[in-house]
Amino acid sequence: MSLPSELPPRQEIGVIGWVRKNLFSSWYNIVLTLVAAYLVVTSVGPLLNWVFLEATFTGETAADCSGEGACWLFIGQRLNFFIYGFYPDALQWRIDIMFGLLAVAFAPQFIERFPARKWFGIFGLTGLPLIGYILIPGGWFGLEEVPSSRWGGLMLTLILAYVGILAALPIGTVLALGRRSDMPIIRGLCVVFIEVWRAVPLITVLFMASVMLPLFLPDGVNFEKLMRALIGIILWQSAYMAEVVRGGLQAIPKGQYEAASALGLGYWRKTGLVILPQALTLVIPGIVNTFISLFKDTTLVLIIGLFDILGAVQSTITDPAWRNVTTEGYVFVAFCFWIFCFGMSRYSQNLERKLDTGHKS
């Protein structure tokens, strides 16, 4: 004879069951829950008030920001400067095109079933920088030239980070391969390069690039400050990247090299077809970590007089016309950085899942 089946006890299922089990299972947990609830209520309420309820969104000048909450009006009024720096208003369509293309190239990467999304990504890594190289500075095909001293804001941040990221990965990969080379001269050069650049703070590199380097160059040879900073960032970043990639290379079993060799694949095919695809997949978290930290480190260009988004905001919050907007400015900058860094992080998780072929299980 079997027992008649009954519904599960009501107090163990559903919302009530979950709450009982996870929040109020013991005196200790009850106290923790109450304390946490108190903290949430006392902090979230005022925060919501400041950000939304009592904030000022519309108006023209600082005088319109009378409420207790945030003065978002300030951000709206100066947004143009935060995004384009001193880029001439009439030519900002060029930057808008670049933003559009950036979105076109990378938005599909977040949509699992998007057709031919691989090609959008390839465009983002090849065509996009090329178009940017022509469009942003101008001076080609009758486009009016805009000197880099007028670039600034979010656009400059993105240029620095994008070029840094794009160049550092391949250079870093070559350095990592060089460091593992059998040829002593190549290996020695790579070790010296990596150890020198990695041991220097980025601030020093930027200072050297903007202040010291011109002193060493012969008369008449000079190139733009932005270009010098970019080269400094790329070299510094590729030294870091080299070590991340080397970590991946070392994780590949010797058998993979042997199997590839035994099939008759030479060094470059073996490396390109068998070793690197596996090594780079393994170190995606490390690579993206480095990218994210570079993205944030680009703010350091402030000290050599380039106005990235942080520099642009910082110079505006001291504007006497706007008082007490410091918090709003920094929150806005933090939010912009968060959007891009979180995007990179999500994309890397996406990529890791896609490339997982189950050989680790």
Partner 1 sequence: MTEQNTALNPEDSRTSPVESAKHADKTIIKVVDMHKWYGTFHVLKGLNLDVNEGERIVICGPSGSGKSTFIRCINRLEEHQRGQIIVDNVELTDDVKQIDTVRKEVGMVFQHFNLFPHLTVLENCCLAPLWVRKVPKREAEATAMEYLERVKIPEQAHKYPGQLSGGQQQRVAIARALCMKPKIMLFDEPTSALDPEMIKEVLDVMVELAGSGMTMICVTHEMGFAKTVADRVIFMDEGEIVELAPPEEFFTNPREARTQQFLKQILHH
Chain residues binding partner 1 by CB under 8 A are: 253, 255-256, 258-266, 269, 273-274, 277-278, 281, 355, 357-361
21 or 269, CB closer to partner 1? 269
**Pick 113 or 360: Cβ nearer partner 1:** 360
Locus of tokens 């808008």: 96
Taking the least distance from each CB to partner 1, the nearer of 68 and 356 is 356
**Nearer to partner 1 among residue 161 and residue 260 (C-beta):** 260
299-303: list long-range contacts, CB under 8 Å, 24+ apart: 299/157, 300/202, 300/203, 300/206, 301/156, 301/160, 301/206, 301/229, 303/203, 303/206, 303/207
DSSP class per residue in 78-131: HHHHHHHTT--GGGHHHHHHHHHHHHHHHGGGG-TT-TTHHHHHHHHHTHHHHH
Amino acid at site 198 = R
Nearer to partner 1, 286 or 329 (CB): 286
Residue 351 · residue 284 · CB < 8 Å = yes
Q: What's the CA gap between 76 and 308, in Å, rounded?
A: 18
User: Using CA atoms in the order 179, 182, 188, 190, what is the torsion angle rounded to 10 degrees?
Assistant: -30
From the CB of 359, what's the least distance to partner 1, in Å? 3
Q: How far is the CB of 357 from partner 1 (least distance, A)?
A: 4
Q: How far is the CB of 187 from partner 1 (least distance, A)?
A: 19
What's the closest the beta carbon of residue 268 comes to partner 1, in angstroms?
10
| Nearer of residues 238 and 348 to partner 1, judged by Cβ | 348
Nearest distance, CB of residue 122 and partner 1, angstroms: 19
- Evaluate whether 225 touches 156 at the Cβ level (below 8 Å): no
Question: What's the closest the beta carbon of residue 267 comes to partner 1, in angstroms?
Answer: 9
